[in-house]
Amino acid sequence: MRLSLCMIANEPIDRCAASVCQSVDEVIVVRTGTWGAPEGATVIACPAELLTIDKESGATYLHDFAAARNLSFAHATGDYVMWLDSDDTVEGANKLRGAVEVMARDELTVVALDYIYGTDERGNSTCSLRRERIFKRGIGTWKYPVHEVYVTSPDLKTGYCPDVVVRHHKQEKPPCPVKNRNVKILQGVKDPDARELFYLGNETRFYDPPAAVGYFERYLHVGLWDAERAQARVLLGQLHEVNGNLEDAFRCYASATADYPGNPDGWFGLARICYFREQWGRCCEHTEAGLVRLKLPTHTIFDPLARQFTPHIYYNFALNKLGRVQEALASCNAGLALANNDHMRQNKALYEAFLVKEAA
């Protein structure tokens, strides 16, 4: 079974290639920049019709990633095809051969891998998701000009390989000098569908919150994927929460838990609102509902540290208010094992002192 690696790159792929090329049979690169070709790779110049000159910066950028990925897949000759970006590396690449053998043996057409997109200063993942990475060649096509997705028949047999992880590396300089490139691409779509509206909301929420609210609300009228709807409601709830609209935020989080109960973020959002309202019992109940869902798989983007650490900031306080001091201490210890927090350290010391006094 032969495995092809297909990429789009506007910069040298040396780091990525070093992590994976010994484990694949060929490398296909659609080149959008002017860098030299890596040894042994098949390099295809990106067609001019897929490039746009930005009016603000004068820089040239790729405006249709799906078309570029389809071009790279069209040149692949392997039985199976894997895709990466130039700023990714692969951990456990020596397991790829085994993964492909399992695909052939079990007649799998798609295999997903974990994708770690961001980390903090301690190496904790701050953005992670599971993405379909390896496909049987010729089973689908790439869609969407940005945040592209490989569209296949919904009844295909899929699998997951936990032994191989793709890690994104933040570049020292921006990969594209075009400001808000993704938004510009998406705003060029005449009739955005649910996925494009979701990403418009996600891309604009940090610098234009009112626009993001509008995009998310439009998305919720047409989005049908329960997991993504729940995430949209959580992000919309966070926008309302930042603006002090706790009632609207609470409704969004509650709707998220109804859309997709397996997503812990809606439960944690409810818990946070209850914390602000000093509803300690409900705060604990909702936090615990979220914590039991942490290990459930998800195909939507999430922040593992925010899920695993942040809830303990208010959970330990609520537990103490209910007289559950030993559990409050355990919550502090769980949080501090992941990240430093002055308030949590102070609470930990108070709980320990109280428990020592109680035991005397």
Asked if 149 and 271 sit in the same domain, the reply is no
Instruction: Answer whether residue 176 is part of any domain.
Output: no
Whether residue 304 sits in one domain with residue 353: yes
pTM: 0.83
- State pLDDT tens for residues 233-288: 999 999 999 999 999 999 999 999 999 999 999 999 999 999 999 999 999 999 99
| Residues 102 and 230 reside in one and the same domain | no
Residue 306 has pLDDT above 70, yes or no: yes
Whether residue 22 is predicted with pLDDT greater than 70 in this model: the reply is yes
- pLDDT for position 245: 96
Asked if residue 12 lies in contact with residue 173, where contact means CB atoms within 8 angstroms, the answer is no
pLDDT at residue 153, as a whole number: 87
pLDDT at residue number 331:
98
- Kindly report the CATH number assigned to the domain that includes residue 341: 1.25.40.10
Q: How confident is the model at residue 171 (pLDDT cuts 50, 70, 90)?
A: low
Q: Which of 168, 200, 219 is the last residue of a domain?
A: 168
pLDDT at 103: 96
Q: What's the rounded Cα separation, in Å, for the pair 300 and 134?
A: 18
User: Can you give the pLDDT at residue 227?
Assistant: 92
CATH code for the domain in which residue 25 is found = 3.90.550.10
What mean pLDDT do residues 36-52 have? 87
pLDDT confidence of residue 128: 77
pLDDT of residue 173: 56
Per DSSP bridges, beta strands 42-45 and 51-53 are: unpaired
Q: Which residue is listed with tokens 């940005």? A: 146
- For residues 250 and 318, state if they share a domain: yes
Using the structure block, give the residue that is written with the tokens 């439960």.
Answer: 267
Q: How confident is the model at residue 36 (pLDDT cuts 50, 70, 90)?
A: low
* Half-sphere exposure (Cβ direction) of 100: Cα atoms closer than 13 Å: 22
Check whether 289 has a pLDDT greater than 60.
Answer: yes
Grade residue 154 by pLDDT with cuts at 50, 70 and 90.
confident
Residues 11 and 99 reside in one and the same domain:
yes
pLDDT at 315 over 60: yes
User: Mean pLDDT across the stretch 180-186?
Assistant: 93
Q: What is the pLDDT of residue 11?
A: 81
Highest mean pLDDT among 39-43, 72-76, 126-130: 72-76
Q: Is the pLDDT of residue 170 over 90?
A: no
What percent of the chain is modeled with pLDDT above 90? 79
* Average pLDDT for the chain: 92
Answer with the one of 109, 142, 168 that is the final residue of a domain: 168
pLDDT, average across residues 141-170: 92
Calpha distance 131→116 (Å, rounded): 10
Residues 164 and 187 in one domain: no
Q: What is the sign, positive or negative, of the torsion defined by CA atoms of 260, 263, 265, 268?
A: positive
Do residues 104 and 1 touch, judged by C-beta distance below 8 A? yes
pLDDT of residue 91 exceeding 60, the answer is yes
pLDDT of 149 above 60: yes
- Looking at the fold, whether 91 and 147 belong to one and the same domain comes out as yes
pLDDT of 121 reads 67
Q: Mean per-residue pLDDT for 139-159?
A: 93
Q: What are 85's strand-pairing partners?
A: 8
225 and 310 in a common domain: yes
Measured on CA atoms in the order 78, 81, 87, 92, is the torsion positive or negative?
A: negative
Report percent pLDDT > 70 for the chain: 94
- CA atoms of 209 and 212, how far apart (whole Å): 5
What pLDDT score does 177 carry? 75
Query: Which range of residues forms the domain containing residue 56?
Result: 3-168
Q: Is residue 76 part of a domain?
A: yes
Predicted pLDDT of residue 122? 66
Residue 352 CB partners (closer than 8 Å, separation 6+): 329
Tell which of 129, 144, 168 closes a domain.
168
Same domain for 142 and 33, yes or no, is yes
HEC readout, the chain:
CCEEEEEEECCCCHHHHHHHHHHCCEEEEEECCCCCCCCCCEEEECCHHHEEECCCCCCEEECCHHHHHHHHHHCCCCCEEEEEECCEEEECHHHHHHHHHHHHHHCCCEEEEEEEEEECCCCCEEEEEEEEEEEECCCCEEECCCCCEEECCCCCCEEEEEEEEEEECCCCCCCCCCCCHHHHHHHCCCCCCHHHHHHHHHHHCCCCHHHHHHHHHHHHHHCCCHHHHHHHHHHHHHHHHHCCCHHHHHHHHHHHHHHCCCCHHHHHHHHHHHHHCCCHHHHHHHHHHHHCCCCCCCCCCECHHHHHCCHHHHHHHHHHHCCCHHHHHHHHHHHHCCCCCHHHHHHHHHHHHHHHHHHC
* Averaged pLDDT, 302-321: 92
State mean pLDDT over 303-321. 93
Quick one: 156 and 34 in the same domain? Answer: yes
* Domain identity same for 10 and 140: yes
pLDDT at 214 over 60: yes
Q: Are residues 337 and 190 located together in one domain of the fold?
A: yes
100: in domain? yes
Mean pLDDT in residue range 124-152: 90
Please give the tally of structural domains in the chain: 2
Asked which of 66-80, 264-278, 304-318, 343-357 is least confident by mean pLDDT, the reply is: 304-318
